[in-house]
Structures are given as C-alpha cells and as structure tokens.
Structure 1
Amino acid sequence: MFASTSGGGLDFGMPDVCLPGPVPYPNIASRTMATSVAYKVILGRGPAHTLATVIPISMGDNPGILGGVISRRNMGPSRRLVPYPKLLLQNKPAVRLGATGIQNQINVNGTTIAPSQVKVLLL
C-alpha cells in the first residue's frame, strides 16, 4: 500500500448517521487539510502522515444540522487508528492507503481510499 501524505488522497466513511432523522450520509475528509504531519519527511508532493495526523474537518454530513447520532458533532475531525508499525516517521508510526480510523469525531468508521502519492510503498 502507498504511504499517506498531504499531497492528496481521501478518507471515506459510510454511513455517518446524523440528526434530524436519523439519516445516513457519506463522510469524506481530504488529506490535504491534515495537521500534525511529519514536516521533515517529504514523500511525493507533501509531508508524510503519521498516527498523530488529524484532519480537522470532514465533509458530507452537512445536511445533518444537529450532528452525528453518537458524537453530536457535524463536520468533525478524521484520524487513522491502524498504523504501519514497521516505519517510524519522527518517532510516530506511519499510515498508508487502506488504513482504518474514525471520522466526524467518533461517529463513523472510515478508510483511506484514494492514494496521496504512488511512488513510496509500505509493504
């Protein structure tokens, strides 16, 4: 799988059940908006992502104005929970394409589905 960076890529989670309703919405987070990245490690076009990387805003659940059923948040943060333990970037485990995590605070499970770059593989 390809290493994740701030050079692009998407995290996707479904269903993000929000109120009023409950109504399921898709939840998408763009890796270009990530914070707490490994700024000293550039892979492809952007800094590498680690387990500490957080995307502060996720989109797609905007019509659910009362927030998620579990988190009560709308457009909450996205982060990965399953790292690639064989590679440390600035003393934190790297993350890669296919890594799973949580989105919209804790309202939906998500996966990195689009690659950030296609040169560096973490096998």
Structure 2
Amino acid sequence: MLATHQWMGGAMAFPDVCKMPFPFPFFNLGLRPMTIPACWHILLFGGPMHNLFAKTPITLLDQPGVLGGVISQVFMQMQRHITGSFTLLLRGGPATRLTSLAVQNRMNIVGFECIPGMHFKFFNFKF
C-alpha cells in the first residue's frame, strides 16, 4: 500500500452538502502539502511522511457553499484521518496510506485518500 507524504496528493470526498441558500452537493479536497504536523525526520521520496495525528487545516472546492455544511455549519474547514496502518507507527501514531478514511470539512463528510502523491519515472539506461 502506498504511504502518504508531504508532496502532492490528497483526499477527496463527495457529496459535501453545503447550503447556498439551498443544500447543494460539492466535492471536497484536502491537499497533503498543507498538512501539519508531518513527521519531519522520516522522509519518503524526500517528503515528510504523515501519521494519524496529521491534520489539514483547510479543504477546498466547497467555497460556493458560503452558508456552511448541512451537518458542520462550516466550509473550508479541517480534514483529519480516522484510519491508518496497523503495522507501521511513525512518531507514536499509525502511518496513513492511500485509501485511508478521512473526515473532511470538520465533520460534514467522510472521504478517503485517493490522489496518489508518488511520481514514478522510468529510465532507459544504455550500456
């Protein structure tokens, strides 16, 4: 399973139902580069890894719902993970990975890590 780290990637959720003045479903996106606190001394591809204690303070794509979420009454709010690895601990917390569940827009919607942050390059070496 792919681990999550501070480079690109993120968590997506749908439907994040916000009021604008009527309830309307939006996508909700939490980007990993904004996540704090990361495990700064444990690097993966040069980026700090994330554990279950890491939170993203701002989520995106629900800005038109200015009256807030139906459940949380807020928009563009915190995202935090609720599932992690059972076998790998980073700084005392379970490591997060691709497909980890995340509560987004405070408690308005449950999404998951679905945008991979790893970039694979293929090299053609000729000897």
Answer whether TM exceeds 0.5 for this pair.
Answer: yes
- Residue 98 of structure 1 aligns with an amino acid whose one-letter code is T
Show structure 1 runs of 5+ residues with no match. Answer: none
The SS at the match of 2:66 is coil
Q: What's the CA shift string for 1:51-81, capped at 9, x where partnerless?
A: 0000100011100001101001110111110
Deviation digits for residues 78-103 of structure 1 (CA, Å, limit 9, x no counterpart): 11101102001111110000111200
Give 1:109's aligned residue. Answer: 110
Give 5+ residue unaligned stretches, structure 2: 121-127
Given that residues 2 and 118 in structure 1 are in contact (C-alpha distance below 8 angstroms), is that contact kept between their aligned partners in structure 2? no
Alpha-carbon distance, 1:9 to partner:
0.6
- Once residues 99 and 67 of structure 1 are traced to their aligned partners in structure 2, the CA distance between those partners, rounded to angstroms, is 25
**Distance between the aligned counterparts of 1:13 and 1:49, measured in 2?**
19
Give the match for residue 17 of structure 1. Answer: 17
Letter in structure 1 aligned against 2:69: G
Cα displacement (A) at 1:117:
2.4
Tell me, in whole angstroms, the C-alpha distance in 2 between the residues paired with 1:118 and 1:88. 24
* Higher Cα radius of gyration: 2
1:19-98 matches, within 5 Å, as 19=19, 20-98=21-99
Bigger RCO of structures 1 and 2 (CA < 8 A, at least 6 apart): 1
Moved over 6 A (4+): none
| Letter of the structure 2 residue corresponding to residue 14 of structure 1 | F
Counterpart AA for 2:17: V
3-state SS in 1 of match to 2:25: strand
What TM-score, normalized by structure 2, do the two folds share?
Answer: 0.90
Q: What is the TM-score when the length of structure 1 is the normalising length?
A: 0.92
> How far apart in 1 are the matches of 2:27 and 2:104?
11
Looking at structure 1, the residues matched to 12 and 85 of structure 2 have their Cα atoms a distance apart, in angstroms, of 19
